[in-house]
Each structure stands twice: as structure tokens, then as C-alpha cells.
Amino acid sequence: MASVITKRMRLSRRMFLKGCTMSQAPIVVGLPPLVSMFNSTGTSYAAETKTGRLVTPIESRFVFWYNGNGIPERYWIPTETGPDFQLSPCLTPLARLRNDVHVITGLDNAAGRGGTHPHSTSGILTCMPFSGRGAGGPSLDYLVAGKIGNESRFRSLQIGVSQESFGSSMQRNMTWAAADRPLPCEEIPHKMFNRLFGVHEEGWAKRKRSILDTVREEAAILQKKLPKEDSLRVEEHLTGVRELERAISDLPQRYQLRVAPPDFDGDMRDWPRVAKIQSDLLAYAFATRQTRVASYMLTKCQGIARFPWLGYTAARHHDYTHRDGLAPGADGAAGQRILRDICRWHVEEFAYLLAKLKSIPEGDGNILDHSLLLFVHEHAEANPHKNTNCPIILAGHAGKLKTGLHSRMQGTVAELYLALTDDVMQLGFGTFATTNRKLSGITV
């Protein structure tokens, strides 16, 4: 923490500013982590009760991040292992965050064998074989939410960016409650904003009013009671909320409050804008303790979108992974370079979320210090749909997670997930899907 305040009001970590719109719809604005919420060392939440001081640990958070269509191994996988590894061309966006990540390669997506994108995706998300209709069981994020999500306003959040409607439910969904039971992700920033803050009202969407207008008086009264550092944090937080409003309102109408038609091909020119807004909303949800668990589906399984902001519009993402007459194919030099640039953009968006979480102070550190993020693809090398040597990035510092290195490991993805849930998150599963063996080398 920047300073220690010995005389201060004690605030609940779940305190919200509440108001009503002109139509009497409720508005809820959460507060960020404030110095006044923690004990004097910033290591635990503290609150005054009738029977004395109640201290609770800072909770951990979990993010499951997914990208489809695999990778070009030569541009993604680092050559060196250990702490002195050189970032590969696809991983360069992580340069300023290299001490916050652990790159893992070499693991098998054992349950994904079958050769198709749905097989691989079911395997990487659930470690269970594809059922023929959907995932073979509950996804990792759903199981984690069952352990740590019940005391939050939202048990978990399912966040998406791509609005592609191509393919089956296995190709369009990331979170699964059970075999063949998907939980669709929210791809519309307006709707995610409304879910976190309250009910939509036309006025703020058209920038005539702000949801902050409904809580400004309550916020001003609170700020007068707070120490200066906390008052400044509240002001910065409210400014960030207003910037989110503006960013969402500035999106083209085609991304606002609508569901894509069944034949929508997913060609979104504003993907990077949408992705950053969705990441900002997720960071807000974590900062205000509205949820502890989220899935984030940046691109779909077997995605067919184009990438105009990268200059690649001659063919679609999946086309670039195979030779089809339009695209050069992933096995050729030109196709590999195109996939390199696409995958680098994926990592760039992931790095944006990491940096956002790292920028939010919490206790004696920041939110990234208390988070575990897991970045997966459904398979490794794109063209052959390879399910060995899977590329995985771990990030954050929850549970003494080992970071700042590249490790080439032997084992399965399920064995990694068991190590993450038991050793990092301390959930006590004891087994995951088809394994009761844990990988070593994950924690300090």
C-alpha cells in the first residue's frame, strides 16, 4: 500500500454506491479496493464489528482465456527454457509482463484426440472427450466457480468478443455446466455493462446522461469521509467508469444491444476496440468484487473471421491454417507469417488484460498479484490440428505461482489443471477429469 492509515473509517469490501435512473431502474456502482478496507499491512480485509475486528484474506481470482485455430509453433514457442528465455515473435506483447507469466509447452491435450476442432476444444476446456454434440463434461472455469464463486454477486462471468455464429455449440461456447450444457458468453459490451451496473436506460447510451449522475451525491458524501488517498482512488475509479460509458457508446450500432443474425460471418472491423472494452469490464468486475471467476473467448473454435486491422482480408482465419486456394496455407512460409501476426494480436489482447489488472492497487499489491489467468488454444500447430506440445500461458501471482520462465513439460493438460486447482487455488479437488496426478514445477 502507498501509505498506512491508522485512524480511518472501516469500509466493507462489498460496499456499493446505489441510485435510480429517471425511470426508477436501480443502478449499482461498485467501489475499488481502498486502503480503508484493509488491515495496517494491507494483507487482509479488515472491518469493525460489534464483537471486534474481523479479518479476511484477500480473495484470489481466476480467468480462463481461449483462442481458436491453433498456432504456428515456429513463431509461438520459445527456443530457450528457464528464466532467460527469449520471447518468440508471437509472445513479444508480453515483454513488460514477462515476470508475471509462465509459458508452458510440451503437454498433451489427451482428451482432444480425434482430429477435429470440436474434439480438441472439448479436450482443452474440460479434459473430457467431445460428446458428438458438445463438451464431454463441465469446463474448468465452471468447476472453479463452484468452489469460490458462491459468495460473489455473480458466480462467474462468461465474456466473448467474436460474434461469429458459424458451427455447432461446441464451436461457439467456452463454458460448460455439464456434458452438452453450454453457458453462452456475452459478446455485446452494452449488455455486459448493463449486467454489472444495472438496467439499461437510453439516456446514458446516447451520452445525454451518465449512470454516475444517479450516485454522484452519495459518492461526494463518502469521499469527504475518506482519507485523501482513498478519495483520489474513488475519483479515478468513477472517471474510469465514465470512460467506459463513452467507449461503449462510441461503438458502431452493429455492436450495440443486438444479437448477430444466424448467417453473420463474424467480420468485425472493431474487434480490438470491443476486446479492450470487455477486458475493462472484467477488470471492473474483479476490482469491485462482483465475481471471482471468468471465462474469456476472444475468438471462436474454427473461427472464420477476417482481420482487416492486421491487413488480412483475402481469406478467413481458418482458411489461413489450411491451403484452400485463397489462402497460402499454414504449412507455407507466407501462411506461417500470417498466423504469426494473428496470434501476436491474440497475445496483445491478453497482455492488455494483464496490464489492466496490474494497474489496480489492492492491499499490499495489485489485482494481478491475487489472480491466476490461464491462456489456452484448442490445439498446437494449426494445419495438422496437433494435440501434443500444447501452448499454454499462466499469468498472475495467486498461490505462489511460479512465473518469469518458459517450461517444457511432459504430461497432460488435465495434470496441469489439477496442479492449478489444488496447489495454486487451494480448492482441494484431488482429481480432475481423468487424472489424479499433478504436474510439478508450477508453484514456488
Residues 272 and 413 in one domain: yes
Residues 105 and 167 in one domain: yes
Which whole number is the average pLDDT over 25-30?
87
Give the pLDDT of residue 434: 86
In angstroms, rounded to a whole number, what is the distance separating the alpha carbons of residues 296 and 84?
29
The model's pLDDT over 116-152, given as tens digits with 9 standing for 90+, comes to: 999 999 999 999 999 999 999 999 999 999 999 998 9
Which of 43-57, 84-98, 153-167, 226-240 shows the lowest mean pLDDT across its residues? 43-57
Q: Give the pLDDT band (50/70/90) at residue 269.
A: confident
Give the pLDDT of residue 75: 97
Give the pLDDT of residue 204: 57
Task: Give the residue from 366, 14, 21, 51 showing the smallest Cα distance to 213.
Answer: 21
* Nearby residues of 156 by Cβ (< 8 Å), 6 or more positions away: 141, 142, 144, 145, 149, 175, 291, 292, 293, 294, 295
CATH of the domain at 64: 3.40.720.10
Give the pLDDT of residue 27: 87
Residues 205 and 184 in one domain: no
* Residue 433, domain member (yes or no): no
Contact of 187 with 300, CB cutoff 8 Å: no
The model's pLDDT over 52-66, given as tens digits with 9 standing for 90+, comes to: 567 889 999 999 999
Residues 3 and 48 in one domain: yes
In angstroms, rounded to a whole number, what is the distance separating the alpha carbons of residues 298 and 303?
10
Which of 223, 238, 256 corresponds to the end of one domain? Answer: 256
pLDDT of 109 strictly over 80: yes
* Residue 434, domain member (yes or no): no
pLDDT of 398 strictly over 90: yes
Residues 415 and 291 in one domain: yes
In angstroms, rounded to a whole number, what is the distance separating the alpha carbons of residues 211 and 397?
34
Single-letter amino acid, residue 32: P
Give the pLDDT of residue 5: 43
Residues 174 and 306 in one domain: yes
Q: Give the pLDDT band (50/70/90) at residue 314.
A: confident
Tell which phi-psi region holds residue 52, choosing left (phi > 0), alpha (psi between -120 and 50) or beta.
left
Which of 23-32, 36-45, 174-183, 246-255 shows the lowest mean pLDDT across its residues? 246-255
Share of the chain above pLDDT 90, in %: 71
What global pTM score does this model have? 0.94
Q: Give the pLDDT band (50/70/90) at residue 205.
A: low
Residues 368 and 397 in one domain: yes
Chain mean pLDDT for the chain: 90
Which whole number is the average pLDDT over 237-255?
87
Share of the chain above pLDDT 70, in %: 91
Q: What is the largest CA-CA distance in the chain?
A: 74
Q: Give the pLDDT band (50/70/90) at residue 343.
A: very high
Q: Give the pLDDT band (50/70/90) at residue 202.
A: low
Give the pLDDT of residue 53: 62
DSSP string, 304-319: ---BGGGTB-SS-HHH
DSSP string, 378-440: S-SBTTTT--SSEEEEEEE-GGGB--SEEEE--SBHHHHHHHIIIIIS------BTTB----S
Single-letter amino acid, residue 205: A
Task: Give the residue from 251, 64, 232 showing the smallest Cα distance to 141.
Answer: 64
Residues 150 and 26 in one domain: no
Of residues 125 and 262, more confidence is placed in 125
Task: Give the residue from 443, 353, 433 showing the smallest Cα distance to 403.
Answer: 443
pLDDT of 203 strictly over 90: no
* Residue 220, domain member (yes or no): yes
Residues 272 and 339 in one domain: yes
Q: Give the pLDDT band (50/70/90) at residue 4.
A: very low
* Residue 113, domain member (yes or no): yes
Give the pLDDT of residue 199: 67
Which whole number is the average pLDDT over 87-99?
98
> Which structural domain, as residue segments, surrounds residue 182?
60-191+263-424
* Nearby residues of 83 by Cβ (< 8 Å), 6 or more positions away: 404, 405
* Residue 101, domain member (yes or no): yes
* Residue 440, domain member (yes or no): no
* Residue 82, domain member (yes or no): yes
The number of folded domains in the chain is: 2
